[in-house]
Amino acid sequence: MPVSLAVSKRRRALSDLEGRVFDLVVVGGGSVGAGIACEAAARGLDVALLERRDFGSGTSSRSTKLIHGGVRYLEKAVMRLDRAEFHLVTEALAERAAFFRTAPFLAKRLAVLTPTYTRSAHLYYSLGLRFYDLLSGRGSLGRTRSLDRTATLALVPQLRDEELVGGVLYHDGQFDDARMNVLLVCTAVSIGAVAANRVEVTGLVKEKGRLVGVEAEDRLGGGTFMVRGKTVINACGPFSDVLRTLDEPDASPIVRTSSGVHLVLDRGICPRDTGILIPKTEDGRVVFILPWMGRTLVGTTDEPAVPTDNPVVGNAEEAYLLRYVRQYLSVAVGPSDVRSAWSGLRPLVRNPRARRTAELARTHVILRSRSGLVSVVGGKWTTYRRIAAEVVGAVSGARPKAVSPPVLGARGWSEQSMERLETGCHLVPEVAAHLDQSYGTRAEAVAALDVGGERLVPSEPFLAAEVRWAVREEFALSVMDVLSRRMRIAFLDRPLARRCVPRVAAILGEELELSPEAVQNEVNDARRALDSNI
């Protein structure tokens, strides 16, 4: 009996994994692992990428979604005259510009307002954010502007105005982290990498003390097998120490995890095109209130946490973020306004002298063990490409200059692509914009999968065709893969995601040739996930 495209693709990938000897075996399919796979494949290396859950299901789908140099790190760099922090900012600003070239349809420019309540604070942020813009050089996304009280309130009318002096408007980038993650994997595969999700590395294989591969388990019931590789890269993010102790049982931990919670509130809480940065909370953090995919994203917190697959959003963290929204904006928001919430675990590099996780630098480290295991920990989404180039350069003896190509859907994309999509595929502007921003030049192929243009929910632009695309072209294997990371609906609005579950499960069942029982299990699993933690 002929098997579906998605099923045969996965079978072929698993058979390739078992049968070949790779130059690199990358363990962990978050931003770091996917970035390394892409960079290595672009340099002509044979690369395997193994992810035990879904690509981007860890920290990499749970970020603030900013492509940024890090305003807060710049402040620390200047206050402490810290060269490492300063380097982190300048490097990230250069990578911010590269990100826009790599994924122009996923990255967008975002204006962010910092409200000020004293004249000295106004001057401080004005100078600081101008310096931030200056450092970005030709990669500047827009001139920083100092606004008086009237102009500030005109821009963000919902801002509380008691004692408001004005605001400082600066620019950063914003992107869809989970889609970027999966597109990096798809791009790597399009240039020769072999990638599989639901494949867990459970052991390391050594010969005469040298690593020669990994023991892998197909978590969809295919048993265990060996993947041979000349070099094994540990890109397990918060779980990197687990692989390090498989290699050297007495290895001292290098990761310290901290949880960062985000909430999604309804649209209209912050303006459509302008975010708000609360530069200093009572406990010395920053909180962002940002427009994101038509809703409002608020984050984040920073609390020590233990690595776990499903980090929980605590009531205290939710209350903390809501309190800051109410303190700065005249909107009456409470727990019932939270459409979705999640926690992400920062894989921070340990520094025994740091008292709080917020004090740990967001730089990365690359370590090579005696057996040859290369572990990469830390860094930011923004700098994934730089990290990947450094790792691939280090293991192949080549230059650490990134060569990875633009992601699939980027070549030939322009600001006018959406209009062409509207007229060429007869799509209403809302749907055309959504497809254009999610798939770039591949949007037309997505729309062509269902000429009827069935929507998952009448009031939203998400199409049933996207579910088929996710399974056929983007490695989705479950309802939650689709709803959380290919289409973001679970991250945007859990009640809405719940309504989509039966239809998504039915299409998934068709595409993966699932039995009616398996489809029902998918429905149950997705409902359970949406009721607890995504």
Ligand X SMILES: Cc1cc2nc3c(=O)[nH]c(=O)nc-3n(C[C@H](O)[C@H](O)[C@H](O)COP(=O)(O)OP(=O)(O)OC[C@H]3O[C@@H](n4cnc5c(N)ncnc54)[C@H](O)[C@@H]3O)c2cc1C
Which residues contribute to the site for ligand X (CB under 6 A)?
A: 27-33, 50-53, 57-60, 62-66, 68, 200-201, 235-239, 260, 300, 344-347, 379-382
CB of 107 to ligand X, least distance (A): 12
- Supply the DSSP string of 201-270, one letter for each residue: EEEEEEETTEEEEEEEEETTTTEEEEEEEEEEEE--GGGHHHHHHHH-TTPPP-EEEEEEEEEEE-TTSS
* Beta carbon nearer to ligand X, 169 or 313: 313
| 106 closest CA partner among 168, 176, 43, 164 | 176
Helix (H, G, I), strand (E, B) or coil at 281: coil
Write out the H or E segment, with its range, that includes residue 496: helix 494-512
Measured from the CB atom, the residue of 6 and 388 that comes closer to ligand X is: 388
State the nearest-atom distance from the C-beta of 302 to ligand X, in Å: 8
Please report how close the Cβ of residue 258 comes to ligand X at its closest, in angstroms: 7
Omega before residue 300 within 30° of 0, cis: yes
CB 53 within 8 A of CB 198: yes
| Cβ proximity to ligand X, 68 vs 494, nearer residue | 68
Instruction: Please tell me the distance from the alpha carbon of residue 249 to that of residue 231, in angstroms, as a whole number.
Output: 19
Is 403:417 a contact under the CB 8 Å cutoff? no
Min separation Cβ 238 and ligand X, Å: 6
Q: How far is CA 5 from CA 197, 352, 512, in A?
A: 16, 50, 8
Task: State the nearest-atom distance from the C-beta of 203 to ligand X, in Å.
Answer: 9
Nearer to ligand X, 64 or 438 (CB): 64
Cβ nearer to ligand X, comparing 239 with 413: 239
Q: How far is the CB of 52 from ligand X (least distance, A)?
A: 4
Rg of the chain in Å (alpha carbons): 23
In the complex, minimum distance from the CB of residue 364 to ligand X, in angstroms, rounded to a whole number:
8
CB contact set of 349 (below 8 Å; sequence gap of 6+):
254, 255, 256, 360, 361, 363, 364, 365, 377, 378
Q: What angle do CA 224, 526, 339 make, to 5 degrees?
A: 135
Q: Are 522 and 478 in contact (CB under 8 A)?
A: yes
Nearer to ligand X, 236 or 408 (CB): 236
Q: Is 260 or 291 the residue whose CB approaches ligand X more closely?
A: 260
Q: Where are the beta strands (DSSP E) in 405-458?
A: none
DSSP 8-state secondary structure symbol assigned to residue 455: B
Quick check: helix, strand or coil at residue 8?
helix
Question: What is the smallest separation between the CB atom of 30 and ligand X, expressed in angstroms?
Answer: 2
User: Least distance in Å: CB of 257 to ligand X?
Assistant: 9
For ligand X, the closer of residues 166 and 173 by Cβ is: 173
Q: Which is nearer to ligand X, 149 or 228 (CB)?
A: 228
Q: Report, in Å, the least distance between residue 1 CB and ligand X.
A: 31
Residue in 112, 491, 492, 534 with CA at minimum distance from that of residue 289 = 112
Q: Which is nearer to ligand X, 104 or 299 (CB)?
A: 299
* Residue 436 burial (C-beta neighbours within 10 Å; 0-12, 13-18, 19+): buried
The closest of 452, 405, 394 to 187, measured between CA atoms, is 405
Residue (55 or 105) nearer to ligand X, CB:
55
CA nearest neighbour of 346 among 334, 328, 358, 329:
358
Hunting for tokens 């030049």 — which residue is that? 441
Smallest distance, ligand X to C-beta of residue 501, A = 23
